[in-house]
Structures are given as C-alpha cells and as structure tokens.
Amino acid sequence: MSYIALVVLAYLVGSIPTGFLVAKARGIDIRTVGSGNIGATNVMRTLGRTAGSLVLVADGLKGWAAVALLPDLVFMLFHIPHETSRREYYEILAGLAAVLGHNYTCWLHFKGGKGIATSAGVLAALVPLALVIVLALWIIVFAVTRYVSVASIAAAFALPFATWLTHQSALRVIVTACMGALAIYKHRSNIERLMKGTESRFVLAKDRAKETAERPS
C-alpha cells in the first residue's frame, strides 16, 4: 500500500504542467506555438529566458522533490522506519513516477513534455555525480551544435555509463538506462527532423525577430 501511495503522489507532483501554466498566465497555449511541447525549451523560445528559466527550475524541482521528500512523507504516513533497507526502491519508484507524470500528465490528456528537466531533478537526488557528468556533456554538445535535442539525446545515451562510472548500484544503472531510453524515445520526432535536416537550432523568439528585421527586403 505504501508503494502505491508513493507512486500516486510522485506521479501527481510530476504531472503539474508547469510550462503550460506559465504560458497560460501570459494568454498563450504553449501547445499551439513553436514545437508544441510544454517543456522549458519551447517556453524559452516563445516567451523568453525568464519564463523558460522558471519552467526549467520548477520542472527540475518536481523531480528532486519526488525523490528527496516524498519517501519520507510516505514513511511517516505508514509508520515505516526511515532507515529502511527498502529506501532505494522507494526513491527509484518516486523518481520514475515523477518523470512519467511530466511526460504523460493527466491534466493535459496524458500528453506532456520530454522529461529532461524533471529527469535532471530526479538524478540530482539519486545520482548527483552522474548528473554532473551528463550535464557537462549536454553543455559541450549544445555549445557545438546549438541543438537542444542533440544535446539531450547525447546526455540521455551517456547517462547509464555515467552512473556506472560513479560506482552506483546495478539497480541504479538499470534504472538510469531506462530513463535515458525513455528520454530518447520522447525525442523521436526530433530525431526524424534531424535526419531530414529540418530540426531547428535554438534561437530565442526576440533574436529570431531581430534577425528577420535585419534581413534586406
């Protein structure tokens, strides 16, 4: 029963559609502009750095809170000793449920984001050293390509290897491999556009408008 309660709570925390809500507060349905994704990248492209950064941090906090806080809440509600040997399982279940909540939010007909920021929050609580490695890789790949999707896919692919290199348990290596695979799966439309050469490099809306205005007519 405690596992079920944890999964439900973590899913609901992860399912909060931050990007949709922030854009809606500006009178915009983020699903109808840009890539149509509710994640931080599309919000930043459409509404600017401040809104995008807010969504990025909030989505990350959802994942971190699910792993770092919710197991303790469940332990308290069900009178489970905090030093339980099952804690790792509780943390992993909470993290996975939060990512699935973000990717398939019940508030938007089970259509959500791609889970990169929320996954990063989960990793910050579960495997922080591995997160540092893949974050560094993300930054390098993005700086070279200017494709958010390529950087995210590269980081997702490297995640289980980074987890293994930081001497985590076999279970955590397997779980991070599943998280990486899910992240790559959620980028399948980006992969198709990359193969066709139609994927857009990251440009803020105001910078794109400035470039358009400066072009000779």
Please enumerate in sequence order all residues whose Cβ is within 8 A of that of 101, keeping only pairs 6 or more positions apart, or say none.
10, 11, 12, 13, 14, 15, 16, 62, 112
Amino acid at 159: L
What tens digit of pLDDT does each residue of 70-107 get? 999 999 999 998 778 889 999 999 999 999 999 999 99
**pLDDT digit string (tens) for the chain, length 217 residues:** 899 999 999 999 999 999 999 999 999 999 999 889 999 999 999 999 999 999 999 999 999 999 999 999 999 999 998 778 889 999 999 999 999 999 999 999 999 999 999 999 999 999 999 999 999 999 999 999 999 999 999 999 999 999 999 999 999 999 999 999 999 999 999 999 999 999 989 987 565 545 444 555 4
What tens digit of pLDDT does each residue of 206-215 get? 655 454 445 5
Helices and strands of the chain, counted as H and E runs: 12, 0
- φ/ψ (deg, to 5) at 48: 105, 175
The sign of the CA dihedral 51, 7, 71, 184 is negative
